[in-house]
Structures are given as C-alpha cells and as structure tokens.
Homo-oligomer: A and B are copies of this chain.
Amino acid sequence: MVETQEIELRGHIIASGVMMQLTDRVMDMGGNFEILVFEVGKKKTDTSYARLRIGASGKEKLHAILSEVHRLGGSPVEVKDIRLVPAEADRVVPKGFYTTSNHPTQVKYNGEWVPVGSIEMDFLIVVDPDRKTATAMPLGKIRKGNLVVVGEQGVSVTYPERPREQSTFEFMHGTVSSERPSETLIAQIAKEILDLRKKGGKIALVGGPAIIHTGAGNAVASMVRNGYIDVIFAGNALATHDIENSLYGTSLGMDITTGKPVTGGHNHHLYAISEIMRAGSIRKAVEKGVVKNGIMYECIKHNVPYVLAGSIRDDGPLPDVIQDVMVAQDAMRKHIHGCSMVLMVATLLHSIAVGNCLPSSVKTICVDINPAHVTKLMDRGTTQAIGVVSDAGTFLPLLARQLEIQSQAAATGKK
C-alpha cells in the first residue's frame, strides 16, 4: 500500500539548496515524489514555492520520510494543530517531545501560526495557553505542568536561505582552508565588522588564553577600547593571563615583550589571581588601580560585559568566574540573544558552548590554528560562517590594524 502526503516548501528553496536536499533525501529513504507545483523566483530576492506529493510503501516509512522532510522545512499542505502534553514533574517531560533546530520555527496552535521565541538548538517547545505564546526552553528548565509540544505535527521550520548579498560570508561560507590569502581575508572581515557596526549590530568575542600567550592581548584590548566588541565570553584562563600580563608583563611566566621565561614566572598566574582575590573582583582591582591595562581593564572602563565560565581545569579561580556551569550558560544566553556576529578565537570549549546557543542567523567567524577545531565549529549550524586556520598572535594584530586603517579611511572620506 503506497501512502502519500502532499507537502509544501516556501522561501529561497533553490538558493538554500533545500529543494534538492529534500528530493534527494526522499529517494535515499526509498520513497518517491511528484512535483505538483514548482514556481521559481526569477530574481535573487524572490522566493520560490513548491508543492510535492511524497509517497512511500506503508505508513511507518512515510512517517520516517516526513520527519526528515520536516527538518528541511517541508510542511504538510494541510497542517493540524500541535499536540501538547503537560510535564509530569520538574524536568520530567512527555516521551516523544519535539526538539528544536536553531532555525526560525512556528507552531500551529488553535489554528493560528505562533512564532517560537528564544529559539536555540535542542530545546523543547512550551506553549503558554493564556498568553498564546510559544517558547523554546532547555530540558533542564521544564517545570511540572508546562505544556510541551510532542511530535512534529503542527510545527513548521523556515530553512534559512544562504546569504546572497556579495559579502565575505556568502562566498566563504562553509569552507575551511589554510590556503587562502590571509591579509585579504582579514581586510574583508574588518570591513564586515565596520559595516555591521554602522547598522548597529552587536558583536561578541569568544576567546581563549592563547590570545594572551601569542601576544595578541593588546590587539583585543584596542578592539574593546575602540568599540568593536560588545561582550566577551571566556574562561578563567583568558582573564587570569590577561591580568598576569598587566601586572607582571608575562603570560604563563613568559615575558611577552621578549618571549623568554622569567625567573619565578611560574608563580605569576597564581599571584595575579591572588591580587584579584585580595581586591575582591576584577572591577575593584581596576578601580583601586591594581590593574592598569589589558583586555579586562578595557572591559571595565568601557562597560563591556563579560561572562567568565568556570571549567574543571581552573586554577583559583578568579572571583568573577561563574563556577556553576548552568548558571554560566544562562548568563551567556542573556548576552547572546541580540548579537549579530560572533568572533571565536582559539578556544574550542567556549566556542562550542556559545555556538550551541546561537540562532542560525548569526554570523560567525572561527579562528584557530587547528583545522580540526575550525571544522568542528563550522558544523554547528550557522548559515553564515567563515573558518580561518591561523595564528591568533598574527591574525588579531593584523585585524586590529585593518579596523583602524579602514575606519580612518572612512572618516576622512578617502574610501
């Protein structure tokens, strides 16, 4: 018995490649399809529309296929309401709950399409029947009685188009290579940052301690001072070595201006932590004049917020570090929503953590010396990502200089 179901696809279904992915996937899974309507947008900015009849032998097979089709944005032509089941207890949710992608999502509730707020990868959808709103929430936050969406019925995903403007993100998307013209790429990234800035977009930096070890601390400090960074996500190590550098001129005991280890330098990171403990916090240490420069100093001086998330490998840690990782995750989330671009440099752990919380529309730039790390970060599901295999110690100073050169050129109208 061949079972069939009509489904619809809307949007930039050619540009995004989703039309082909979908038909391909159907055939891979042993189903077949008939194209009923296929209206292709003639211009770049036009959307397209397709209606297909999906067929498979047996209900179970058809269901499996439709589940895949759903993830790609294909919805049944006639959409029924979502199914809602209340949570039995805190964190005890109905089986078969729906888990979100990081793409814009709507649910059909009482015959109306309701957008899902706070969308993030691998969340559940909870509906508030009084306010008629739908919100994405992590499993750990579901409370007894929350109405949780079960199954895919009534849920519609808008698969994002690939960016089509002639931006760096458009042609670089998804590629990772160490064989590209580095200075050209850095100049383009600087331009993207300045363009985003002009439009009022927010930019986050996720950074690892290698930024300090490789001598790029000054470059990042200048980017904070000049207003190119709106929030910093990092761990104990970045902040500690930044402050070590400020207090002793060293990072991990190595003199940053000579590259040579300093006698007693192995003490410096602990001494730096101790000084902040003595002051009470990084802010107080800056206010008391203990810390006089560096990335953290500029954050305090320019009211750039930071979230320092604890990790099992921390020494100390600094009083500013949030030791409970779930509390830290929530602190991170508060700042992430609203960001248009995230610059991830030399940290896999914190970059993945931030990446997990990003809606698919946020632009990301991943810089790491390790190509496997860059590849891993690129696979996180943003639709506009640039991967750069490079050295933080050369990349960031060159980027800071480009930002200066281009912004001055713009100011004097030369460009």
Q: CB within 8 Å of B: which residues of A?
A: 14-15, 17, 19-20, 23-24, 27-29, 32-35, 38, 40, 42-44, 64, 67-68, 71, 91-93, 95, 97, 99, 122, 138-140, 164, 168, 171-172, 178-186, 188, 210, 213-216, 235, 251-252, 254, 256-261, 263-264, 266-267, 270-271, 273-274, 277-278, 309-317, 323-329, 332, 349-350, 352-353, 356, 369-372, 375, 389-395, 397-398
Known: A64-B263, A267-B99, A326-B323. A181 touches B311 (CB 8 A): no
Known: A313-B356, A325-B312. A181 touches B139 (CB 8 A): no
B214 and A178 form a contact (CB under 8 A): yes
Chain B residues near A277 (CB-CB < 8 A):
91-93, 139-140
A139 and B274 form a contact (CB under 8 A): yes
Can you sample 24 A-B contacts with CB below 8 Å? Answer: A14-B20, A20-B20, A32-B43, A34-B40, A34-B42, A35-B38, A35-B40, A38-B38, A67-B263, A68-B263, A92-B278, A93-B274, A97-B274, A122-B270, A179-B210, A179-B252, A181-B213, A181-B393, A182-B394, A184-B257, A311-B311, A311-B325, A312-B332, A369-B390
Closest CB in chain B relative to A313 CB, distance in Å: 4
B180 and A254 form a contact (CB under 8 A): yes
B24 and A391 form a contact (CB under 8 A): no
Closest CB in chain B relative to A83 CB, distance in Å: 15
What 10 A-B pairs are tightest by C-beta distance, nearest first?
Answer: A182-B393, A181-B215, A394-B394, A20-B20, A179-B213, A310-B325, A313-B353, A312-B353, A309-B312, A390-B391
Contact of A184 among B17, B164, B256, B310 (CB under 8 A): B256
A185 and B20 form a contact (CB under 8 A): no
Closest CB in chain B relative to A63 CB, distance in Å: 9
Chain B residues near A93 (CB-CB < 8 A):
274, 277
Closest CB in chain B relative to A320 CB, distance in Å: 13
B369 and A181 form a contact (CB under 8 A): no
Closest CB in chain B relative to A109 CB, distance in Å: 21
Contact of A99 among B266, B371, B393, B397 (CB under 8 A): B266
Known: A140-B317, A371-B372. A391 touches B182 (CB 8 A): yes
Distance between Cα atoms of A397 and B184 in the complex (Å): 12
Chain B residues near A332 (CB-CB < 8 A):
312
Chain B residues near A122 (CB-CB < 8 A):
266, 270, 315
Known: A14-B20, A27-B15, A183-B397. A312 touches B215 (CB 8 A): no
Chain B residues near A20 (CB-CB < 8 A):
14, 17, 19-20
Closest CB in chain B relative to A218 CB, distance in Å: 9
Chain B residues near A139 (CB-CB < 8 A):
270, 273-274, 277, 315-316
B67 and A260 form a contact (CB under 8 A): no
> Which of A122, A181, A314, A327 has the most B CB atoms < 10 Å from its CB?
A181
Distance between Cα atoms of A213 and B179 in the complex (Å): 5
A178 and B27 form a contact (CB under 8 A): no
Known: A180-B259, A274-B139. A17 touches B24 (CB 8 A): yes
Distance between Cα atoms of A138 and B182 in the complex (Å): 32
Chain B residues near A64 (CB-CB < 8 A):
263-264
Q: Which B residue's beta carbon lies closest to that of A268? A: B99
Closest CB in chain B relative to A14 CB, distance in Å: 5
Chain B residues near A168 (CB-CB < 8 A):
259
Distance between Cα atoms of A186 and B172 in the complex (Å): 29
Contact of A395 among B68, B391, B392 (CB under 8 A): B391
